[in-house]
Amino acid sequence: MSIPNEALQKLLQELETRIVASQQQIGITKAQITTKQRDIRMLELTSKEIGSLPKDTNVYEGVGKMFMSVPMNTVDKRISTESTELKSDISGLEKKLSSLEMTHKNGRENLERILKSGDRA
């Protein structure tokens, strides 16, 4: 049973397109994970710095082009909430990355299998 050349060529193009798309998505996902990890480190540093201050210290947060005085416990809550959300996002991105890597691997294996079977024909 032989596949016509046109059908084989179309199949190879589709596989190659999927492989390239998954490779691009892998790069994008890795960049997103790196960015979120950097944001978590920044939040941890900010929390550490704020934690070393006396409790009655005035703390200000940027709001648009101005700064507003905010209670320190409000800042701590915001930082911990953002950190939790970022960790959750990273977990989801790691699952997505795993899926994309599997798709990429399977696509490459299928492409190699088709090319090897073409050598035998």
**Per-residue pLDDT, 91:** 97
Place of tokens 């970022």: 86
- Model confidence over 78-121: pLDDT tens digits? 999 999 999 999 999 999 999 999 999 998 998 888 888 765 54
Secondary-structure class of domain 8-105 per CATH = mainly alpha
Instruction: Return the domain boundaries, the chain.
Output: 8-105
**Per-residue pLDDT, 5:** 76
Confidence of residue 8 (pLDDT cuts 50, 70, 90): confident
Q: How many residues does the chain have?
A: 121
Quote the DSSP letter at residue 67. Answer: E
- Model confidence over 29-77: pLDDT tens digits? 999 999 999 999 999 999 999 989 898 888 999 989 999 999 998 999 9
User: What is the Cα–Cα distance from 109 to 104, expressed in whole angstroms?
Assistant: 9
